[in-house]
Amino acid sequence: MAKKKPAEEHENLERWLVSYADFMTLLFATFVVLYALAQTDVNSYKSLEESLKKAFSQNIFDDKQNIMDGQDSMFEGQQGATNPLMLEYMSQKYEQTSYEEIKDNVENLKQDGLSAEVDDRGLVIRMNEQALQFKPGSAELNEKSYAILSKVAKIIKEKFSIHYIEVEGHTDSDPLASGKYPSNWELSSARASSVIRFLIQNHGFNKDVFIATGLADTIPIVANNSPANKAKNRRVEIIILKNKNKNLSKKNMAKILKDTQLMQKKKGIKVETDPTKDLIKGDSELLKNVIDMTDRYETETKRLNSLDNNDFMHDGEKPEFLE
């Protein structure tokens, strides 16, 4: 009589859950980093890292329903003259939205000789000789110019405090006959500097964010072939540079950020904000995905913790992770 074959040991089909849980954790972290990469640059990682550490150490997903109920206020950000500095520094979405809002506001001042456009450099606010009424061969601003510049300064300051701002002076092609400046190079540079000096002294801008550039007649917007066209070329442009271009300058952004925070703190303006919340500001779908992923991870973790080590035995041996 043939010997009865012993029954095969039942294989535990749930061993894969340990690896699955680890994989889900890594996947979650990967998507957080990928999302951060899409919104920030390398210089922003320290702020992001600290925020993530703070968030997960406090377990911000403990009260998930309250987060979902109050997501509008949680991610809305502060309102007022100055937006949170880290949001301005890190978020491309905030930058682009602010550009469009400023552009619309400037277009409402077209009758004052102002116009605006967004290009690869950033937001360009153009002020012609109607807005800045320089006398021929002079870089001195008059009272009407002060009023126009004050309007522009207020519009910019509501959105941007630490973006680099390049101010370009432009002239027509007529050589200077005489006066304080030997050529249009010196004159265009002086006009750009006059605008910057006014913004710093009268509207509290950080001097370190500015770059003054004199371009003389090298970048005309129309041909210098008539008095009307020459008048169009005599202009000053304020360019709020995109954050992606900030490395083009040798200025110290960390110092600018610190100085601006101190200045606003002295004025009683609250600037602290949570970059993790700001990164997903207004993106309710992302928030739901994060919470859903967290729920699944917590559920699997609890279930695995409830299992006895013997449940993971295979062929009478323990897996390596239980050794």
Among the residue ranges 67-76, 112-121, 183-192, the one predicted with the least confidence is 67-76
Q: What is the pLDDT of residue 2?
A: 59
List beta partners, residue 168: 213, 237
Q: How far is CA 16 from the centre of its chain?
A: 42
User: Who has greater pLDDT, 58 or 317?
Assistant: 317
Judge whether residue 79 has pLDDT over 80.
Answer: no
State the average pLDDT over residues 9-37: 76
Supply the angle between the helices 92-107 and 143-157 in degrees, to the nearest 10: 150
Count of alpha carbons within 13 angstroms of residue 75, beta-carbon side:
19
Question: Hey, which bits of 52-129 come out as E strands?
Answer: 114-118, 122-128
Judge whether residue 236 has pLDDT over 70.
Answer: yes
Judge whether residue 313 has pLDDT over 60.
Answer: no
Sign of the four-CA dihedral 41, 42, 43, 46: positive
State the average pLDDT over residues 85-112: 86
Judge whether residue 269 has pLDDT over 70.
Answer: no
> Topology of 85-266 in CATH?
60s Ribosomal Protein L30; Chain: A; (3.30.1330)
Confidence of residue 4 (pLDDT cuts 50, 70, 90): low
Structure-token pair, residue 63: 């009260």
Contact 198, 216 (CB under 8 A): no
Confidence of residue 154 (pLDDT cuts 50, 70, 90): very high
Judge whether residue 300 has pLDDT over 50.
Answer: yes
Judge whether residue 13 has pLDDT over 50.
Answer: yes
Nearest to 122 by CA among 151, 95, 141, 88: 95
Structure-token pair, residue 54: 């703070």
Provide the residue type at 317 as one letter.
E
DSSP 241-270: E-GGGGGGS-S-HHHHHHHHHHHHHHTT--
Confidence of residue 294 (pLDDT cuts 50, 70, 90): low
Q: What is the pLDDT of residue 50?
A: 60
Q: How far apart are CA 319 and CA 323, in angstroms?
A: 7
Which H or E element spans position 228?
A: helix 227-233
Domain extents for the chain? 16-77+274-322, 85-266
Name the one residue in this structure whose structure tokens are 């905030």: 94
Q: How far apart are CA 51 and CA 12, in angstroms?
A: 40
